[in-house]
Amino acid sequence: MATQIRAEHELHRRRLSRNVGLGVVLVLFVGIVYGLTIAKVGTDPNDDLGAPWAAAQEKAAK
């Protein structure tokens, strides 16, 4: 029968913090790239997504 080591060491806690931290950073980065895409494409008058927005801005300016 194999012996299992179950004791949780402080070391594991630090490694977990590293892994969770990196995971959070990567998810945030994905969110940033997505958000930037929406912000930039959504306000570009040369783009299908941004054209209505640009038209509305122009209208508001008048």
Partner 1 sequence: MSDITSIPEDRDAGFGDYVALLKPRVMSLVVFTALVGMLVAPGGINPFVGLVAILFIAIGGGASGALNMWWDADIDAKMRRTIKRPIPAGKVEPGEALGLGLGLAGISVIMLFLATNWVAAGLLAFTIFFYVVIYTMWLKRWTPQNIVIGGAAGAFPPMIGWAAVTGDISLASILMFALTLAWTPPHFWSLALFVKSDYKDAGVPMLTVTHGRRVTRNHILGYTFVLAAVAVGLGLTSVGGPSYMVVAVVMNAIFIKGAVDIWRRTDEDSEADSHLVERKVFKFSLLYLFVHFGMLLVELTLTRFGMGGW
25 Rama class: left (phi>0) / alpha (psi -120 to 50) / beta: alpha
Task: For the CB of residue 39, give the shortest distance to partner 1 in the complex, in Å.
Answer: 5
Q: How far apart are CA 46 and CA 58, in angstroms?
A: 14
Nearer to partner 1, 27 or 36 (CB): 36
In angstroms, give the least distance from the CB of 62 to partner 1. Answer: 18
The footprint of partner 1 (CB under 8 A) covers 9-11, 13-15, 17-18, 20-22, 32, 35-36, 38-40, 43
Name residue, tokens 């997504």: 49
